[in-house]
């Protein structure tokens, strides 16, 4: 074999088919990548926002639960605390709602 068989073809006289196929594959690959990635990124951002909202709600519920537990402990020690809580909510012990609650708890 001679040295001429291993030399590349000159710049102006080569076959362009492999370049066209490679470029086409690159364009199709980029199109597939962006059409599947961009919606996934948007969905991820939406899910992150929803997660933050749920975490905030959970934290507020835990705080409210802790506050209610503390109130129940205080209420179980003295009847004065019960009256203070009723007054805080604008209720009177003789209100029908309170009488109904008392009737159901006595049973």
d(CA 36, CA 44): 13
Q: How would residue 9 be classed by pLDDT, with cut points 50, 70 and 90?
A: low
Question: In terms of DSSP H, where are the helices of the chain?
Answer: 17-77, 79-88, 96-106
Residue 57 has pLDDT above 90, yes or no: yes
Taking the alpha carbons at both ends of the chain, their separation in whole angstroms is 109
**pTM value?**
0.46
Residue 106 has pLDDT above 80, yes or no: no
CB 93 within 8 A of CB 83: yes
d(CA 71, CA 74): 5
Return mean pLDDT, the chain.
Answer: 80
pLDDT score of 28: 96
User: What is the CA 74 to chain-centroid distance, rounded?
Assistant: 36
Q: Where are the domains of the chain?
A: 19-106
pLDDT score of 73: 79
């Amino acid at each position: 074999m001679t040295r001429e068989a291993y030399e590349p073809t000159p710049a102006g006289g080569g076959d362009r088919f492999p370049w066209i196929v490679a470029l086409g594959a690159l364009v199709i690959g980029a199109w597939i990548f962006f059409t599947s990635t961009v919606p996934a990124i948007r969905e991820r951002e939406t899910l992150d926002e929803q997660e933050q909202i749920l975490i905030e709600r959970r934290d507020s519920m835990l705080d409210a639960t802790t506050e209610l537990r503390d109130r129940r402990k205080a209420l179980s020690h003295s009847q004065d605390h019960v009256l203070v809580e009723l007054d805080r909510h604008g209720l009177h012990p003789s209100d029908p709602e309170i009488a109904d609650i008392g009737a159901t708890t006595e049973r």
